[in-house]
Amino acid sequence: MQKYIRKLAGLLSGALFVLSLQSCDKGYKSLNINPDAVTSPTPEYVFTLAEYEGAGYNGHYGSSGSNFLMGTMQYTTSYNDVAGFGSKYITSQVNSSSGAFNAAYPDEINEVSIAIKALKGNAARINELAEARIWRVYCYSKLTDLYGDIPYFQAGSGYDSSVYKPAYDAQKDIYADMLSELDAAAASLDPSKSATFGTADLIYGGNVSQWKKFACSLMLRLGMRLTKVDITSAQSWVTRAIAGGVITDDADIAKMSYNSSGQDINKNPLILDMWNADYISQNGFSNTEGGKYADSWINYLQATKDPRLPVISVVWVGGVPGAGGVPVGGTPDTTSSIQKGMHQTIANARPGNFVTYSEPNPKTVLLLNAPRLLFTVAESNFLMAEAALRGWYSGATVTSLYNAGVQAAMRQWSVITFGAGTISSPQANDYLAANPFNTAGSIDQQMEQIYTQFWVSSFPEAQEPYNNYRRTGYPALVPNNYPTNATGGQIFRRCIYPISEQNLNNTNYQAAIARQGADDLMTHIWWDK
């Protein structure tokens, strides 16, 4: 009897518990609603963040990022093996190249995807949708150009579609979609529609015509990327881009602006990294990560008597030994003849003459509020010079486009430095007179001149010179065959996927490797054949 009573009591207790849950269900649900949470995204807010992060405030290349691709393109180097990975390709540091992948997906890729989903289907906001689509292409293009095959079509679907293990897509398919997206987005931009991102757009303030030029410029960049794998498509997209109207005026340069004070996230991320890694003391000696300009960079600027050399470079002189041997009282000297780059083979010990090597000018290169130039007039002209060289563009001569690219690159130092690094038109003209375009040279010689100048003109931004180096072979840099390097003494061809992908998305990771090749630094991505 006691057993049945206990059983009946248990049943009654359970029934009462269920009834109590039913009776308080409505109130229970309301208690689980966060009154401060946003139930639907505001596109302006997430687009602003997507722009800011896509331009790289979060240090996409990881710790000491300024020494990564800048080192690879031999602008800078370091005697420190760890910080000098980009210029030394140290085997033990290869995973430092996964930083961009780790940062992009939870940040700008996710954010711009949220903005696009919130804007779709609203005809009144077609311009905002188009601008978000263009920005998404910019973000994805930077990523796929570093890694090759990446999650693309299923990426950014974790929150609303529960796709937590997105498939990796072939770069060939990614490129086809990115170019189509640029074409469709540019065509959909409508100046008659009043709705724009306005001040939420940190690049163009919602200016529709400038966004179209940016879209066409990206189309020119990506179209030219196809020259080694699909020359017919390359020509088609390049001519379409130029006809659509690319960036040819300084007022249309795509750039991200920053502040020199306040929170670090408001400062230029590349310059902040350079400060924190090496140049915060500004005495030529106390460079924490051992960074200096590379000799190949300084030697080239000196050999061509480039007026940019005294703008960007200093040697600290006149200091006297202080505590711990740190020079005190030195001053930055911009005289071109005393500039000297450090060799990439220097290893693991500060050389005795370390203070005599050149480093970035604090008054120009190291301005924390300097804008990052995302697409410039110089790049448009150099890419169009190649198009003219290939016979794809007849609107100007190769020489005039090359000269326009050099002149624009000289002018942009005034933009970067707010006038402190201004190079005059006579200086630019004298430089061109002393280093004329080789009209009598072969196509290969002319390509070398165009993309060596592209390298000079892009500093301190390094990814596009790196992309064009892999595509064209220029500038003709001599690789650093450093002991324990992971590349056989060659400049690496791609970055490494994060180790987390092997653990969390292994099936799709393995499929990408089977299609593209081994996950190592020397595997060529699709367009780099």
- Model pLDDT for residues 160-211, shown as the tens digit of each residue: 788 899 999 999 999 999 999 999 999 999 999 888 999 999 999 999 999 9
Residue 5 scores a pLDDT above 80? no
C-beta separation of 110 from 71 below 8 A: no
From 13-17, 87-91, 93-97, 433-437, the region with the lowest mean pLDDT: 13-17
How far, in Å, CA of 64 to CA of 61, rounded? Answer: 8
- The larger pLDDT score, comparing residue 234 to residue 8, is at 234
> Omega into 151 within 30° of 0, i.e. cis?
no
pLDDT in tens, 349-386: 999 999 999 999 999 999 999 999 999 999 999 999 99
Q: pLDDT value at position 35?
A: 72
Q: pLDDT value at position 30?
A: 64
From 33-42, 254-263, 317-326, 364-373, the region with the lowest mean pLDDT: 33-42
- Alpha-helix residue ranges (DSSP H) falling in 89-170: 99-104, 110-119, 126-147, 158-161
pLDDT above 70: percentage of residues in the chain: 91
Confidence of residue 10 (pLDDT cuts 50, 70, 90): very low
- The count of other CB atoms within 10 Å of the CB of residue 351 is 15
> Omega into 307 within 30° of 0, i.e. cis?
no
pLDDT in tens, 396-447: 999 999 999 999 999 999 999 999 999 999 999 999 999 999 999 999 999 9
C-beta separation of 108 from 139 below 8 A: yes
C-beta separation of 519 from 494 below 8 A: no
CATH architecture of 43-246+485-516: Alpha Horseshoe (1.25)
Q: pLDDT value at position 415?
A: 96
Confidence of residue 41 (pLDDT cuts 50, 70, 90): confident
Closest CA to 494 of 136, 130, 145, 26: 145
Q: pLDDT value at position 3?
A: 42
Question: Domain limits of the chain?
Answer: 43-246+485-516, 264-360
Q: What is the DSSP string of 456-475?
A: HHHTT--HHHHHHHHHH--S
Contacts of 204 (CB under 8 A, 6+ apart): 210, 211, 214, 254
Residue 50 scores a pLDDT above 80? yes
C-beta separation of 285 from 327 below 8 A: yes
pLDDT in tens, 479-490: 999 999 999 999
pLDDT above 90: percentage of residues in the chain: 83
Residue 125 scores a pLDDT above 60? yes
Q: pLDDT value at position 58?
A: 52
pLDDT in tens, 129-156: 999 999 999 999 999 999 999 999 999 8
Q: pLDDT value at position 325?
A: 83
From 107-116, 320-329, 513-522, the region with the lowest mean pLDDT: 320-329
- The count of other CB atoms within 10 Å of the CB of residue 326 is 15
Q: pLDDT value at position 28?
A: 61
Contacts of 37 (CB under 8 A, 6+ apart): none
Confidence of residue 26 (pLDDT cuts 50, 70, 90): low
How far, in Å, CA of 492 to CA of 478, rounded? Answer: 12
Mean of all residue pLDDT scores within the chain: 91
Q: For the chain, what is the radius of gyration of the CA atoms?
A: 27
Q: pLDDT value at position 57?
A: 57
Q: pLDDT value at position 195?
A: 84
Residue 495 scores a pLDDT above 90? yes
Q: At what angle do helices 463-472 and 126-147 cross, to 10 degrees?
A: 60
Q: pLDDT value at position 265?
A: 87
Average pLDDT over residues 452-466: 97
pLDDT in tens, 387-404: 999 999 999 999 999 999
pLDDT in tens, 57-74: 554 544 444 468 999 999
Q: pLDDT value at position 12?
A: 35
Q: What is the pTM of this model?
A: 0.92
Confidence of residue 40 (pLDDT cuts 50, 70, 90): confident
Q: pLDDT value at position 31?
A: 66
How far from the centroid of its chain's Cα atoms is residue 158's Cα? Answer: 24
Q: pLDDT value at position 220?
A: 98
How far, in Å, CA of 157 to CA of 392, rounded? Answer: 39
